[in-house]
Every structure is written in structure tokens, then in C-alpha cells.
């Protein structure tokens, strides 16, 4: 017989906890998924750009690490483990200084940043959410709302079929 103390049982339980609880213990990681800000992401290449009107009313750049870019360019789906997609967003604002040059109101640019979201592919770790883990960061800190994080996977389930739960298409 092997004696197991409460301390060991507690440790074993901690290991068996859902990603939700594990993530929430990580101050730098997102709730549920434990996604952290990847080093150097601001220098990653552009996958595409977009403007979301409506409540978001932002203009955004979707960047990717080398694994993600390769998959986008070669059409590899599902994305391989290690692929990370970064969605940077800024307030969508008009540019009076540009408009003055063009002679009419036509120029809309990036204002202050809103938030940055990351989608991290790890088929095993994030098996319950289609192989993707998510995180949203404001001012370099993870949004602590588990409720927000619970909306990621269901929304991405609506992404175009065959695009592995990803909305963005590569812009050549």
C-alpha cells in the first residue's frame, strides 16, 4: 500500500483541473486557455486587414507567426500545432489631416488600440475547442473575463467551412 497525503492528492487534483482553473492561476495568461502574449508578435507579417463596424467599430490587422503564415500561403488546413494568429484592433477614426489633402472626407485610420486577441493552435491541449486556445489582452494584460473567453469558440464555429475555425483569409 502506498500512502498518499492530502498534499499529494491536492497536487494531483490541481493537475487534473480543467484548463479554466489552470488558466486563471496564471496572471499573464487568458482565463480558460492560459494563452499568453507571444514574444515579438507585433513584428509578425500581415495575413489580412479588416474593418468591423457595429459595436466594435474598429480597424484591424491580422498577423501570424511563421507557422501560421506558411499554412495560410500554402492553404494547409487544419493549421499545424504552433500556429498563432494575432488580431490587433484600433478605434476606427476619420483622419481630418488626410481628408484635407484629398479634399473630401474619405480617410479612416487607426486610432488608439482597443485590444489584441490571439488564437493558438494546439490540437491536443485545446481539443475541447477545436484545437484552438484564445486570449484577449488590453494594455498588455489578459482580459480576466472567463465569460468573454467562453464566447470565442462558439463564435469561431461559424467561420467559413474548411478554414479550420478561422475567419480570416490570406490577402495576397
30 vs 26: CA distance, rounded Å: 8
Given 14, 42, 82, 128, the residue binding a copy of itself (CB under 8 A): 42
Nearest to 121 by CA among 52, 66, 54: 66
Q: How far is the CB of 171 from a copy of itself (least distance, A)?
A: 4
Given 20, 67, 108, 122, the residue binding a copy of itself (CB under 8 A): 108
- If the CB atoms of residues 4 and 109 are measured against a copy of itself, the closer one turns out to be 109
For 72, the 3-state DSSP assignment is helix
CA-CA-CA-CA torsion sign (91, 97, 102, 104): positive
Query: 10 Å Cβ neighbour count for 14?
Result: 11
- If the CB atoms of residues 52 and 128 are measured against a copy of itself, the closer one turns out to be 52
- Phi/psi for 141 (5° steps) reads -120, 145
Q: Using CB under 8 A, list all residues that contact a copy of itself.
A: 42-46, 48-54, 56, 59-61, 63, 69, 88, 90, 92, 95, 97-98, 100-102, 104-110, 113, 155, 158-160, 167-169, 171-172
Amino acid at each position: 500500500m502506498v500512502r498518499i497525503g492530502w498534499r499529494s492528492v491536492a497536487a494531483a487534483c490541481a493537475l487534473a483541473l480543467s484548463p479554466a482553473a489552470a488558466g486563471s492561476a496564471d496572471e499573464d495568461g487568458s482565463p480558460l486557455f492560459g494563452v499568453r502574449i507571444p514574444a515579438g508578435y507585433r513584428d509578425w507579417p500581415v495575413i489580412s486587414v479588416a474593418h468591423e463596424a457595429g459595436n466594435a467599430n474598429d480597424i484591424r490587422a491580422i498577423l501570424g507567426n511563421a507557422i501560421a503564415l506558411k499554412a495560410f500561403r500554402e492553404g494547409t488546413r487544419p493549421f499545424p500545432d504552433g500556429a498563432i494568429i494575432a488580431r490587433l484592433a484600433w478605434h476606427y477614426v476619420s483622419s481630418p489631416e488626410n481628408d484635407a489633402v484629398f479634399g473630401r472626407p474619405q480617410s479612416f485610420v487607426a486610432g488608439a488600440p482597443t485590444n489584441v486577441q490571439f488564437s493558438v493552435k494546439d490540437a491536443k491541449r485545446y481539443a475541447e475547442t477545436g484545437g484552438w486556445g484564445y486570449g484577449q489582452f488590453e494594455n498588455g494584460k489578459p482580459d480576466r473575463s472567463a465569460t468573454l473567453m467562453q464566447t470565442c469558440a462558439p463564435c469561431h464555429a461559424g467561420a467559413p467551412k474548411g478554414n479550420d475555425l478561422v475567419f480570416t483569409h490570406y490577402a495576397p
